[in-house]
Structure 1
């Protein structure tokens, strides 16, 4: 948090859940342990967040918002559509490389603790819709020549591809960003 901005109980709860997930895995996260770590009652955790599925969703959505903030900043810094896509892709992949919570969720696929993974994969409709909506707002300033429907298809495809590379990188953020920008330049041609 920024200096002088008080941290809310909800933020402290989400921070504690993220820390515990990265330290010992999602399966070990309980409302009682979160309450103890935050110095609040278990009922406070339930009142601010809800049950564990709501905690999972809140945790993933908070991470998504942080990723989308770097996407928004990337689009705001460019006046060329393809360069903006490249910058945004790089920013997401670079952030993903060092994201401990994301690594804990993804590495769970190699073990038994996969309860958070569906929020990034099979139950990701909300994630895709939210990301697509945010990006669509940012591309309106560009003269990309796509209809709204074409832009939606292109954005959703890019989001899915980037998410795939977040989950299972096949190259460096630079290489992947170059590849996705090249692909988009071909679509626009």
Structure 2
């Protein structure tokens, strides 16, 4: 049986640990992230930290996922300010890339000397992040455009998410151009589906 007070205390401890982990990564890089240090800064035993996150990889993944949740909230707010489907896709991609470009934690993932270890958290082993982003984007588009076919929205969101992550890892053109291109692809795909 769940104890709401214990659950709330555990969630608070988890958030404090993730805050400490983020500060450690920014100060010392991913190589400098140590479970022992995070446990000490959080005020819990290493055993408690390992029980909560599993290991350093689990802690890192939880940190990246929390970051992705926060970014998804920004995307939702940006999309709500627009009026058309194309504008909403554009806002979603632009917000994601612009936020990531100015985010020290994302830069630590992409540019650190241990990126070979942690870059997979958003690429080859990034299924949790991809699932969160794809599901969140699908829900946002369907909220604003309930008339669209749900399966096609999910397909467009999947493609848009993968393209955006690709540009995040290897940017090759200005953010506005990328956002416009991805929005064009997603909008055309959904417009064709709505007239079929």
| TM-score of the alignment, normalized to the shorter chain, above 0.5 | yes
Q: Identify the residue that residue 119 of structure 1 maps to in structure 2.
A: 121
**Correspondences of 1:109-188 after superposition (within 5 Å):** 111-143=113-145, 146-187=148-189, 188=191
Runs of 4+ in 1 over 6 A off after TM superposition: none
The TM-score normalised by the length of structure 1 is 0.83
Deviation at 1:13, TM superposition (A): 1.1
Number of residue pairs the alignment of both structures matches: 182
CA distance in 2 between partners of 1:44 and 1:141 (Å) = 39
1:96 and 2:100 aligned = yes
Structure 2: any 5+ residue segments left out of the alignment? 1-8
Deviations 1:80-114 (A, max 9, x none): 11100111111111100111111111113xx3452
Question: CA 1:141–1:51 in 2, change beyond 3 Å: closer, same or farther?
Answer: closer
CA distance in 2 between partners of 1:125 and 1:42 (Å) = 27
The TM-score normalised by the length of structure 2 is 0.81
Structure 1: any 5+ residue segments left out of the alignment? 1-5
